[in-house]
Homo-oligomer: A and B are copies of this chain.
Amino acid sequence: MNRNDVTEMIVAARIQKGIKWADVAKKVGLSKEWVTAGCLGQMTFDKKQATTVGKIFGLPAEAVALLQVVPYKGSLPTAVPTDPLIYRFYELISVYGTTFKELIHEEFGDGIMSAIDFKMDMKREPNAAGDRVNIVMSGKFLPYKTY
């Protein structure tokens, strides 16, 4: 059994039991974004969190142990994603990538937005012309330093 197997067990159990990610997050006591990423094999749970997740999805002890080990990250099967929902995010980088770069450098100088010290919030934004997906990302700016 490896972490990938644990992800598949969680995904299957979720469908069978009709569990919602938002409810899992509430029981774990953290944001739905982070908890879902963890359940999908991208984050590391501590012992208590892993036990909670294990109970929710009915996982065996070995799976609960694996949830506490740092996984090899990367959740997509190809460099350019084929799924339309995920591709749209890739397209945003393709089209707006240099814009992100120019504006962040204009505001902060040389450096990056951290993808580690990072958090994010996804919510529904009601709108008469059709509801909108609203995503707020917040990552620490890390400047390149001279030495």
Contacts and interface: CB of A to CB of B under 8 A. Distances in A.
A62 B100 CA distance: 25
Interface in A86-113: 86-113
B96 A42 contact: yes
Interface in A55-105: 62, 65-66, 69-70, 72-105
Interface residues of A, number: 99
Most buried by B among A76, A131, A142: A142
A144 B44 CA distance: 9
B74 A82 contact: yes
A33 B93 contact: no
B83 A43 contact: no
A62 B76 CA distance: 24
Contact of A138 (B70, B88, B96, B133): B133
Contacts of A84: 73, 91, 95, 112, 115-116
A57 to B, nearest CB: 14
Interface string A121-142: 0111101011111111111111
A22 B106 contact: yes
A79 B79 contact: yes
Contact of A75 (B40, B69, B97): B97
Contacts of A72: 77, 82-83, 98, 101
